[in-house]
Amino acid sequence: MSVLVLTEQEIRQVAELDESTLTQVEQAFTWLDQGLVSMPPVMHIEVDEQSDVDIKGAYVKGQAAFAVKMASGFFGNAEQGLPTGSGMVVLLSAETGFCQCVFLDNGYLTDLRTGLAGAVSARHLAPEHVDTVGVLGAGAQARYQVESLKLVRDFNRVLVSGRSAENQQRYATEMADRLGVDVAVADSAEQLVKESQVVVTTTPSRAPVLSADWIHPGLHITAMGSDLPGKQELDPVILGSADLVVCDSRAQCEIGGELQHGVRIGAIDAADVVELGRVTSGQHPGRQTSEQITVSDLTGTGVQDTAIALATYAAAVAKGCGTTV
């Protein structure tokens, strides 16, 4: 049985941050709402306080193949000048279970589908008119999230707040060139939130980095850093005061997302949280007024990995990319 092997460079040639890939990621959430997805709980391997591996996957009824992904987060790598995240994906035949493709993407597909999931949320939940976007964190996802957001909202300014002055300034310089908008380092996280219409949190924090006191009418928050028990970026009071809270998977978010903290203190009932697939499928309207406060709690789902793997595999085969072994 032959297997197609794709390197990161080859994958980047056929899977890009564009409208087509955004559509594939959005379809993943709709599949969930349609009841077409078999998706097990996340398998988590904790190596130490700074290092872990997640294994995710999902089968979608009617699709010829499905993906299983291993993604690592070794945050101590930064001290060695190495990327903190990596990973790989395998695509298995839904008929035989045999491996069809190995994606040696070094975490690129995860970064791409995660950033685009933020854009899917913003398409349906962010205010129509956005002047300023605030991003907490200055790493890879701070880049993917904001660049993806540009596909669905036209904004003029980005404020960034990170852990080091060097990282903040590097982010500001790179993203100003990439997006063609003004990108500045915020004086504080409070200023960033109060001056933004969309805020994206991208940190591995275990304590709130965003206070309920800073929230204002019309704000949309995409919180994507909390994906494990104990992680937290938002003051949980925010979930109770928001007009609409949406999550990618209620089951996952109750365990590892912001929802875990909101439910624990009684700020919100999990039953009141809308899954993103309800919105993408048209069963829920999403944002309805410019003054609503909306929150999107994203932990990353295996069906996103299957969706982007299927699309990447089809594009690679069509273009003759990769090595067959």
Cα dihedral 61, 24, 271, 228 sign: positive
CA dist., res. 292 & res. 3, Å (int): 49
- Does 69 participate in catalysis according to the annotation? yes
16 pLDDT band, cuts 50/70/90, is very high
Orientation of helix 19-33 relative to helix 108-125, angle to 10° = 70
210: nearest Cα among 31, 117, 198, 218? 198
Looking at residue 49, what is its pLDDT? Answer: 82
Question: Out of 56, 61, 69, 319, which one is annotated catalytic?
Answer: 69
Cα dihedral 280, 286, 290, 295 sign: negative
Task: Walk me through the domains of the chain, giving residue ranges and CATH numbers.
Answer: 4-110+303-324 (3.30.1780.10), 124-300 (3.40.50.720)
Looking at residue 85, what is its pLDDT? Answer: 84
Kindly state the average pLDDT of the residues 158-184.
97
Whether 306 contacts 60, CB under 8 Å: yes
Looking at residue 1, what is its pLDDT? Answer: 80
CA dist., res. 311 & res. 22, Å (int): 11
Whether 117 contacts 300, CB under 8 Å: yes
Looking at residue 84, what is its pLDDT? Answer: 84
Q: Is 282 helix (H, G, I), strand (E, B) or coil?
A: coil
Q: Beta strand 294-297 with 244-247: parallel, antiparallel or unpaired? A: parallel
Cα 100 from chain centroid? 26
